[in-house]
Amino acid sequence: MIEIRNVSFGYSEDAPVLKGVSAQFLPGRVTGVIGPNGSGKTTLFRLIAGLETPDAGEITLDGEPVRALSPKALARRLAVVPQSARTDFDFTVRDIVMMGRHAHIGRFQRPSARDIAAAEQAMRETGVSAFAEKFVTGLSGGEWQRVLIARALCQEAGTLLLDEPVSNLDLQYQLSTLRQMRALAREKNACVVCVLHTLNLAAHYCDDILLLWRGEVYKSGAPADVITPATLREVYGVEAVACPLPGGQTEVVPVY
C-alpha cells in the first residue's frame, strides 16, 4: 500500500507544484492518476518513486517511509516505469529486461534459473520476445515502452508505478497493457498506480481515480464518480456527455 500524507513539493520556493496532497493506493486495485498538463501528476510519480523528497508531509510504502528505504530495498517492493528513459548504450532487449532482477541478485552473483525464467515470462507477456536480441537503440518508441514494462514485470515487486505507460503504444498494446495491469492487481494482489492521459481508458481499466488539478486533489473515488461531464467542464474546460455502454459502463464523450 502507498500512503501519501499531506505532501507538498516545489522545484523552487515560490512555485509549489503539489500542495497538501493526501491519498491512499491499495493492493489488489489499479489506481489511475489523471489531470490536465501541469497538474502535478509526474511530480507525484517522482516523489513516490523516491526520485524527489517532499518539502512537507510523508510518503510511505507498506508502512515505511520511502525516503528511509535503500535503493535496493525500494526496488524489491516498487517497480517503476518512467515516461521516457532512452539509453544510448547498445544493450539488447534481454539485457534491459534482466536489469529488473538486480534487486534480487547479489553483487557477485550470476542470474539464477529463476531470474532467467522471470525475464522470459515478462518478455512473453509484453510481446517483446520476438526481438529479445535486438539492440534497444534501434527500437521504436512503442517497442521501447513495452521493454520498460517487461523490465518492471521482471522485477516482481508488489507495487507497480507507471507514468503514462500506454502513451506511445498502438491500440492493441494499450489495451493488452492495461488488461495486464488489472490482472496483476487481481491475481497477485499488486498495488498498481498508473498516470494516464486518456480518460476513457482510465475509466474502463482503473478501480479508483485520483484527479489532480493545480497541484491539489480535486476529487478521488470510483471512475464513474470522478470522470463526469461536470468534472470535464470544470477541470479540463470541455463540454461532454455521458454515454452508456454495454455491461453497465459509461463513457464520457466530448462535444465537438
We report the CATH number of the domain holding residue 38 as 3.40.50.300
Nearest to 5 by CA among 58, 52, 51: 58
User: Helix, strand, coil proportions of the chain in percent (round to 5)?
Assistant: 40, 30, 30
Nearest to 196 by CA among 182, 215, 179, 210: 210
| Cβ within 8 Å of residue 56, ≥6 positions away | 6, 7, 8, 9
Please check whether residue 54 is in contact with residue 68, taking contact to mean a CB–CB distance below 8 angstroms.
no
In this prediction, residues 46-51 reach a mean pLDDT of: 96
Indicate the residue type of 172: Q
Backbone dihedral angles phi then psi of residue 157, each to the nearest 5 degrees:
-85, 155
pLDDT value of position 243:
81
* 3-state SS, residue 209: strand
Residue 106 has pLDDT above 90, yes or no: no
Q: Return the higher-pLDDT residue of 224 and 93.
A: 93
CA distances for 61 relative to 57, 64, 92, 118, 145, angstroms: 14, 5, 32, 24, 25
In this prediction, residues 143-157 reach a mean pLDDT of: 93
Indicate the residue type of 241: V
Domain that holds residue 39: 2-254
- Percent of the chain at pLDDT exceeding 90: 78
DSSP string for residues in 67-127: GGS-HHHHHHHEEEE-S-----S--BHHHHHHGGGGGGS-TTPPPPHHHHHHHHHHHHHHT
**Tally of structural domains, the chain:** 1
Q: Where are the beta strands (DSSP E) in 151-229?
A: 159-163, 191-195, 208-213, 216-221
List the single range of 43-52, 115-124, 247-256 with lowest mean pLDDT.
247-256
DSSP 38: T
**Strands 78-81 and 159-163: what pairing?**
parallel
Q: What is the mean pLDDT of the chain?
A: 92
N-terminal to C-terminal alpha carbon distance within the chain: 40
Half-sphere exposure of 218 (CA within 13 A, CB side): 23
CA distances for 109 relative to 56, 73, 76, 115, angstroms: 40, 17, 17, 11
Residue 12 has pLDDT above 90, yes or no: no
DSSP 37: T
Please check whether residue 194 is in contact with residue 165, taking contact to mean a CB–CB distance below 8 angstroms.
yes
pLDDT value of position 39:
96
Please check whether residue 155 is in contact with residue 100, taking contact to mean a CB–CB distance below 8 angstroms.
yes
Predicted confidence (pLDDT) per residue in 203-242, tens digit? 999 999 999 999 999 999 999 899 999 999 999 999 988 7
